[in-house]
Amino acid sequence: AQSVTQPDIHITVSEGASLELRCNYSYGATPYLFWYVQSPGQGLQLLLKYFSGDTLVQGIKGFEAEFKRSQSSFNLRKPSVHWSDAAEYFCAVGERTNDYKLSFGAGTTVTVRA
């Protein structure tokens, strides 16, 4: 069975600073990988996804993520954080062989300070 680990429960970053959120996955085959963002009381919004091809994936809101098979990682980055980026971020892995059921990490809460 697949699993996702997000090592950082909470990250505080200054506005304008760079952000990197870590995600490690365990899956027996080539995974489908996703990053979602959730604002308080809201559903999940897809930031980006990796299915195949270029291992550097560009997403919405200026986010990007890099798939590193050797490290089983799919870290999310943003060069310059805005106050509106304060939210909870979830990494997820999809099973190619099970209609792409998503398994989520526990999430990382991002606080942005002025």
Q: Is 49 in the site for other proteins (CB under 8 A)?
A: yes
Residues 91-110 that bind other proteins (CB under 8 A): 92, 94, 96, 98-107
Q: Is 17 in the site for other proteins (CB under 8 A)?
A: no
Q: Give the Cβ contact number of residue 84 at 10 Å.
A: 10
Q: How far is the CB of 51 from other proteins (least distance, A)?
A: 8
Q: Which long-range contacts (CB under 8 A, 24 or more apart) does 97-105 make?
A: 97/29, 100/32, 102/34, 103/1, 103/2, 103/3, 103/4, 104/4, 104/36, 105/4, 105/5, 105/6, 105/23
Q: Is 3 in the site for other proteins (CB under 8 A)?
A: no
CB nearer to other proteins: give 82 or 96: 96
19 to 38: interface string for other proteins, x by CB under 8 A: -------------x-x-x--
